[in-house]
């Protein structure tokens, strides 16, 4: 099965953490396929090293951005323009068939049977089920298809500003042409469906094979206390998907954090990955102000919300507000 692979994408360290957990979950469920991570040049060396330990191949790719603020604003996700980078997965022609999985997905059991499906197989999007969700899909790498997809982007753009709009435009007969290309929802169980259709979730959720933490708030946006196993975050979301979130955090803290710490070694804690973030609260008002030497930061302090967003995007200010000393003193307040 060396010519088939699971592929994911991380343009920065935030999503790289998701990719690590996804990769680990695929390994834990004994996949017989290769694992490939496409990453942006912004991913830190520490994260790259850990990704290389989990994935068979880690490939740096150019970040493609739709720059389509109008459509992205309609989804309230200005950050998703860079999902055009996903289209690079069609260039992986060393493989005959692949399954793409968003970095915010988690595998709950072996899903190698997905390789029995053909391009383009995907599950319905919970928001508009005549569109497929592009968080999990089966495809055949091909430079020809890649070229056509880029051409499609140039000529038609994307109706949502991200890859899902382009892919649904390109594979436009998905809804009607071939039912075997409709993956069951359990291969891409969007966590939002849990609260939009709770009875169905209660009935069928136990069969879930892949959970997708779709939406703005990602597992790494929450706070986790490994001792009490408590997750805190935005109340309605945390309450609606506690088991899956706990699965994610348990894997992250038990398998990924030790690797990040090992990789980090004794070097001074500068930029890079978020080794210590598993118990770090996102509400940065509570983190003591840093004795910050950067004039830019002194002149234009970021709001709490802006700092939270930057943290979630993997752009923590490790030399300033988010320095290890500050994080440690925050942890100390918890321990007390
Ligand atoms: N992604 C990325 N960097 C970004 C945004 C997205 O690498 O800044 C990748 C990542 O693999 C992510 C996927 O693109 O899982 C789709 O984005 P996201 O999962 O946030 O979209 P959603 O599923 O929430 O609509
Ligand atoms: C979606 C998909 C995601 C995709 C994004 C942008 O909601 O879950 O995979 O990248 O839309 O099109
Ligand atoms: Mn996603």
Same domain assignment for residues 122 and 78: yes
Same domain assignment for residues 180 and 268: no
Mark which of 134, 162, 186 sits at the end of a domain.
186
Give the chain's length.
Answer: 336
> Strands 132-139, 121-124: parallel, antiparallel or unpaired by DSSP?
antiparallel
123 lines ligand 1 (CB under 6 A): no
> Residue 211: what pLDDT?
96
Written as tens digits, the pLDDT of the chain (336 aa) is 899 999 999 999 999 999 999 999 999 999 999 999 999 999 999 999 999 999 999 999 998 888 888 887 888 888 888 889 999 999 999 999 999 999 999 999 999 999 999 999 999 999 999 999 999 999 999 999 999 999 998 899 889 999 999 999 999 999 999 999 999 999 999 988 887 888 999 899 999 999 999 998 899 888 888 778 888 776 555 555 568 999 999 999 999 999 998 987 755 433 233 433 333 332 322 222 222 222 222 223 555 666 666 655 555 554 456 554 455 455 455 444
Nearest ligand for residue 127 CA: 2
Instruction: List the shell of residues around ion ligand 3, using CB closer than 5 Å.
Output: 102, 104, 135, 214
- Residue 321: which domain range? 193-331
CA distance linking residue 112 with residue 330, whole number of Å: 42
> Strands 223-225, 230-232: parallel, antiparallel or unpaired by DSSP?
antiparallel
What's the CA-to-centroid distance between 118 and ligand 3, angstroms?
21
Same domain assignment for residues 136 and 283: no
CA distance linking residue 220 with residue 252, whole number of Å: 9
With respect to residue 54, please indicate whether it lies within any of the assigned structural domains.
yes
Which of 134, 185, 187 should be mutated for ligand 2, with most atoms under 8 A from CB?
A: 134
CA distance linking residue 109 with residue 119, whole number of Å: 22
Same domain assignment for residues 283 and 209: yes
> Residue 196: what pLDDT?
85
What's the CA-to-centroid distance between 213 and ligand 3, angstroms?
6
Same domain assignment for residues 8 and 120: yes
Which of 163, 166, 210 should be mutated for ligand 2, with most atoms under 8 A from CB?
A: 163
Same domain assignment for residues 159 and 215: no
Same domain assignment for residues 171 and 206: no
> Residue 293: what pLDDT?
22
82 lines ligand 1 (CB under 6 A): yes
Same domain assignment for residues 165 and 308: no
With respect to residue 305, please indicate whether it lies within any of the assigned structural domains.
yes
With respect to residue 218, please indicate whether it lies within any of the assigned structural domains.
yes
With respect to residue 36, please indicate whether it lies within any of the assigned structural domains.
yes
With respect to residue 336, please indicate whether it lies within any of the assigned structural domains.
no
Nearest ligand for residue 153 CA: 2
Q: How many domains does the chain contain in total?
A: 2
Same domain assignment for residues 311 and 162: no
With respect to residue 59, please indicate whether it lies within any of the assigned structural domains.
yes
What's the CA-to-centroid distance between 32 and ligand 2, angstroms?
27
What's the CA-to-centroid distance between 55 and ligand 2, angstroms?
23
106 lines ligand 1 (CB under 6 A): no
Alpha helices in the chain (DSSP H): 13-28, 45-54, 69-74, 143-156, 163-170, 174-177, 193-196, 198-204, 235-240, 242-251, 257-264, 295-299, 304-312, 324-335
Same domain assignment for residues 174 and 201: no
Which of 11, 83, 131, 313 should be mutated for ligand 1, with most atoms under 8 A from CB?
A: 83
With respect to residue 208, please indicate whether it lies within any of the assigned structural domains.
yes
Mark which of 186, 216, 250 sits at the end of a domain.
186
CA distance linking residue 181 with residue 138, whole number of Å: 9
> In this structure, what CATH number is given to the domain that contains residue 180?
3.90.550.10
Same domain assignment for residues 178 and 239: no
With respect to residue 9, please indicate whether it lies within any of the assigned structural domains.
yes
What's the CA-to-centroid distance between 164 and ligand 2, angstroms?
5
CA distance linking residue 210 with residue 161, whole number of Å: 25
Mark which of 186, 204, 219 sits at the end of a domain.
186
CA distance linking residue 271 with residue 169, whole number of Å: 39
> Nearest to residue 213, comparing CAs of 255, 178, 184, 246?
246
162 lines ligand 2 (CB under 6 A): yes
Count of CB atoms within 10 A of residue 242's CB? Answer: 13
Shortest-distance Cα residue to atom 13 of ligand 1: 102
Same domain assignment for residues 172 and 259: no
CA distance linking residue 159 with residue 245, whole number of Å: 30
Determine the Cα angle at 90 with ends 104 and 79, to 5°: 40
Which of 14, 62, 68, 104 should be mutated for ligand 1, with most atoms under 8 A from CB?
A: 104
């Amino acid at each position: 099965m060396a010519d088939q692979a699971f592929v994911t994408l991380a343009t920065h360290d935030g999503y790289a953490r998701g990719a690590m957990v996804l990769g680990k979950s695929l390994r834990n469920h004994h996949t017989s396929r290769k694992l490939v991570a496409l990453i942006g040049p912004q991913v830190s060396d520490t994260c790259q090293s850990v990704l290389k330990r989990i994935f068979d191949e880690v490939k740096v790719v150019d970040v493609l951005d739709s720059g389509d603020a109008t459509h992205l604003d309609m989804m309230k996700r200005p950050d998703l323009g860079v999902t055009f980078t996903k289209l690079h997965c069609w260039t992986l022609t060393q493989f005959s068939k692949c399954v793409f999985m968003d970095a915010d997905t988690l595998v709950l059991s072996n899903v190698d049977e997905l390789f029995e499906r053909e391009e383009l197989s995907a599950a319905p999007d919970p928001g508009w089920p005549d569109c497929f969700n592009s968080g999990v899909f089966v495809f055949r790498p091909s430079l020809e298809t890649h070229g056509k997809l880029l051409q499609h982007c140039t000529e038609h753009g994307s109706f949502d500003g991200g890859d899902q709009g382009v892919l649904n435009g390109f594979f436009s007969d998905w809804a009607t042409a071939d039912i075997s290309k409709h993956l069951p929802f359990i291969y891409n169980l969007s966590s939002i469906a849990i609260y939009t259709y709770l009875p169905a979730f209660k009935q069928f959720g136990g069969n879930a094979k892949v959970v997708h933490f779709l939406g703005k708030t990602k597992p790494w946006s929450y706070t986790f206390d490994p001792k009490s196993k408590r997750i805190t975050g935005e109340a309605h979301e945390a309450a609606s998907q506690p088991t899956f979130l706990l699965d994610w955090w348990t894997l992250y803290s038990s398998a990924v954090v030790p690797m990040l710490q090992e990789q980090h070694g004794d070097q001074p804690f500068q930029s890079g990955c978020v080794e210590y973030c598993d118990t770090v609260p996102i509400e940065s008002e509570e983190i003591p102000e840093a004795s910050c030497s950067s004039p830019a930061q002194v002149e234009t302090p970021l709001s709490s919300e802006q700092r939270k967003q930057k943290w979630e995007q993997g752009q923590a200010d490790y030399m300033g507000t988010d320095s290890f000393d500050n994080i440690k003193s925050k942890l100390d307040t918890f321990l007390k």
